Amino acid sequence: MRKTELLEIMRSGGSPEVVFQPDTIESIAFATELVALLNLRGGRVILGVDDDGSVTGITRDRLEEWVMTACRDKIRPELIPYYEIIRNVEPGKDVAVVQVDRGWAVHHVWHNNHRTYNIRVGTQSREASAEELERLFQQRGSFRLEVRGVSGSSAKDFDYRRLNHYFQRIRSQDTPNANDADAWQILLLNTEFLIEEDERKPATVAGLLLFCANPNRFLPQSGIDAVAYPGKEKDYAARERLSIRGPMTALSGEDGIIENGLVEQAVGFVKRNTQVTAALADGSRREQTWTYPEEAVREAIVNALVHRDYLLSGTTVELSIYEDRLEVISSGRLPNGITPQRMVTGCRSARNQLLKDVMRDYGYLEHMGMGVPRKIVKGMRKHNGTTPELIEDEELFTVRLWNK
CA distances from 97 to 5, 41, 329 (A): 12, 17, 40
Mean pLDDT of 112-121: 93
Regarding whether 280 and 208 lie in a shared domain, the answer is: no
- Per the structure, how many domains does the chain have? 3
Regarding whether 173 and 302 lie in a shared domain, the answer is: no
| Residue 150 in domain | no
- pLDDT tens by residue, 190-225: 999 999 986 789 999 999 999 999 999 999 999 999
Query: What is residue 261's three-state secondary structure?
Result: coil
- pLDDT tens by residue, 295-347: 999 999 999 999 998 887 778 999 999 999 999 999 887 776 678 888 888 77
Regarding whether 136 and 42 lie in a shared domain, the answer is: yes
Residue 283 has pLDDT above 70, yes or no: no
Domain final residue pick, 85, 115, 142:
142
The bridge status of strand 124-127 relative to strand 224-228 is: unpaired
**Which stretch of DSSP H or E encloses residue 3?**
helix 3-12
Instruction: Note the Cα 140 to chain centre separation in Å.
Output: 17
Contacts of 279 (CB under 8 A, 6+ apart): 286, 287, 289
**Rounded (10°) angle between helices 294-307 and 262-272:** 140
**Which stretch of DSSP H or E encloses residue 89?**
strand 82-90
Ranking 69-78, 195-204, 363-372 by mean pLDDT, the lowest is: 363-372
Contact (CB, 8 A) for 233 and 328: no
Domain final residue pick, 217, 236, 263:
217
Regarding whether 247 and 297 lie in a shared domain, the answer is: yes
| Residue 42 in domain | yes
